[in-house]
Structure 1
Amino acid sequence: MGKASRDKGQRREREFAELIGGRRIPLSGAQEGYPNDVEGMGLQWEVKAKKNGFKMIYDYVLDEREKPDAVALKADRKPWLVVMTLDKFKELMEGDK
């Protein structure tokens, strides 16, 4: 991984940690014992950023006609995933208090 990619990843990790009131884990992925990028909201997070690698997922979640709260995704022989906007997730988590 080049310096530009590493810097971009760290920027996104810091941004996400701030948005959820969490903290970025220094050395995440670089040193044993630090497996995830961010801690926050009672969860361990892995943060991924791609220029346009998630376009189809965004299209599903932000569908203006259907306006889903979340999208369930399933690949063959893989577990289910649930994708939603951070605002919706925070709304759900805050309602849990």
Structure 2
Amino acid sequence: MGKSQKEKGSRREREFAQLTGGTKIPLSGAMEGYANDVNAYGLEWEIKSRKTGFKTIYDWVLDERENPDAVAIKVDRKPWLVVMELDKFKELMDR
């Protein structure tokens, strides 16, 4: 991974921590014992960012016609995942 990718990853981790009131885990991924990237809402988060790699998932979540609260996705022999907008998740957590 090049320097610009590492900087982008750290920038996204800091952004997510700020948006959620969480804390960025120092040295995440760099040393044993520092797993995941952010602690927020009592959960440990792994932060992933891609230029267009998640476009289809965004299309499903932000579908203006259907306007879902969340999307459940699954591939064979893997567990279900739930994807939703951060603002909706924060609303649920703050109840």
TM-score range, shorter chain: over 0.9
Q: TM-score w.r.t. structure 2 length?
A: 0.99
Q: TM-score w.r.t. structure 1 length?
A: 0.97
* Corresponding pairs, count: 95
The alpha-carbon deviation at position 83 of structure 1 amounts to 0.2
2: distance between equivalents of 1:22 and 1:70? 22
CA RMSD of aligned residues (A): 0.4
Which residue identity is paired with 1:26? P
Q: Which runs of 5+ in 2 are unaligned?
A: none
The alpha-carbon deviation at position 64 of structure 1 amounts to 0.2
Q: Which runs of 5+ in 1 are unaligned?
A: none
**For residues 2-51 of structure 1, what are the alpha-carbon distances to aligned partners after superposition, in whole Å with 9 as ceiling and x for unaligned?**
00000000000000000000010111001000011000111100000000
Instruction: Identify the residue that residue 75 of structure 2 maps to in structure 1.
Output: 75
Superposed structure 1 runs of 4+ greater than 4 Å apart = none
2: distance between equivalents of 1:17 and 1:71? 23
